[in-house]
A and B are shown apart, each in its own frame.
Chain A
Amino acid sequence: MKLYDYILSPDCYTVRLFAALSQTELALRPVDFHPGKEHLGPELLRLNPAGSLPVLEDGDLVLSEPAAMLVYIAEKAAEDWLGRTAPDSAARVQQWLGFSRRLSDNLGGARLCQMLLYPGDVAALQLAGRTALRELEAGLVEQDLGGNGFLAGPNATIADIACFAHVALAPDGNVDLEPYPAIRRWLRAIRSLPGFIEMPGIHRLHELKPDP
């Protein structure tokens, strides 16, 4: 499996993270997104006319939607992560996978404007991002009340992974996470997963010294 990858892209990291968690091997093909805009060059546009990253290639299969990549990797190597334990949890996974696309647009968009000087209406993107974060916070609180720590049940699924990076990197786009305690607890739970890997802006949990 070959991932056309950009080190600073939350969507690319989402796929790298899930590959690490599911012990799936990825061949990385770095793309000079910034400053080179290689994703808009002929080679990449032929592969993905949308001009977005990441792109996942496996034989004849070419995927450009991160959620589809997570499904593919999970089906091959980590079915537990699909959340198909009950109709409602399977539906919740799909619900949050769709929601993750909104995060990519608003929080991801705000981050590109604030960090790499992409054109865009930063204030509108930040507002849309905050609206989405409130929805996520409410979803997590609801799950907490039912005794579940993750978006679709007691265990992490691809839905959590799909939403994680854009939320964790929201401060890069000047969107504060202080108002959302359930989100912060959830971020920490994901960072504690065995096999977790970091990206610039998302630091690993440092080992705490044991009590004396």
Chain B
Amino acid sequence: MVFIDITAEPAEQDGTTILEYNLASLIGLAGDLKGILAIQCPGAVAMGITEAMLGMEVSELDGDVKDAIGEIANMVAGGLKEGMLPAGKKIELAIPTTVIGTRVRTSGLSGASRLLIPFTCPLGRFGIELRYILS
């Protein structure tokens, strides 16, 4: 859908690694798995993904980038929702929210588990972070 080859690096469970990013799209998860899923991208990666996905040139972190990365957050969360169904776990999704800025950090509630999966693509690295409590 995005037409970019990406490689997943080993997932980190409850680690402390923090990826540098300028844009994060976050989506809340409710139900049997409560949490928040975030796609975290350096600006260049977010713009490159948007260009590949929408087939247009992008030169700044604008509304198109926000929508593209937000849509990826939505799709990844949707995949997680589908993936948890066979295990009998129901997840409801909130709406994606995007944060664009400099030296931004996000964090969850203490007590939640954290999973971070860094990905490498020709444009650089980006991360998918899940903070959650599974009931």
Chains A and B bind each other: no
Question: B residues near A, CB below 8 A?
Answer: none
